[in-house]
Amino acid sequence: MENPHDKIPMHQGAMPSVFENAKKNRQQNTPAEAALWEAIRLKKLDGFKFRNQHAIGSYVVDFYCHEVKLAVEVDGEYHLDPNQKEYDEERTMRIEASGLKIIRFTNHEVLTNLEEVLVKIRASLRR
């Protein structure tokens, strides 16, 4: 029997509440998200188009490149909490089961070493 969570609908299949959450998140980007968004928006990263706060099923990912099905997450300190880590792992598993790839960076990585973050994103875009 197929698990309904194995096929997460892309943004067109997301519930209206998820779109609302994405919209709110776009208006409240963290400083790290804002810095990364400035570096990748408008196809600045090797011509790849990214979306900011993109709905995927019942989730919102920080940045998404549909062309290569890559989601980029920027995690704050609360992601170190054991319960949050468990939730993040389950969320990642469900999203990746639909054929997407997720890469994660901490706020600290983005704010202190943006160039290295961009190198890692470029490598994921080429896979």
Question: Which residues, listed in sequence order, are joined to residue 106 by a DSSP beta bridge?
Answer: 75
Question: Which residues, listed in sequence order, are joined to residue 75 by a DSSP beta bridge?
Answer: 106
Query: Residue 120: which CATH number?
Result: 3.40.960.10
pTM for the whole structure: 0.82
pLDDT at 119: 98
Mean pLDDT computed over every residue of the chain: 86
Domain of 29?
4-126
Contact (Cβ atoms closer than 8 angstroms) between residue 72 and residue 24: no
pLDDT at 23 over 50: yes
pLDDT at 22 over 70: no
Number of domains within the chain: 1
Neighbours of 106 (CB within 10 A): 17
pLDDT at 45 over 90: yes
pLDDT at 34 over 70: yes
Rounded CA-CA distance 68/58 in Å is 20
Phi, psi at 74, each rounded to 5°: -115, 115
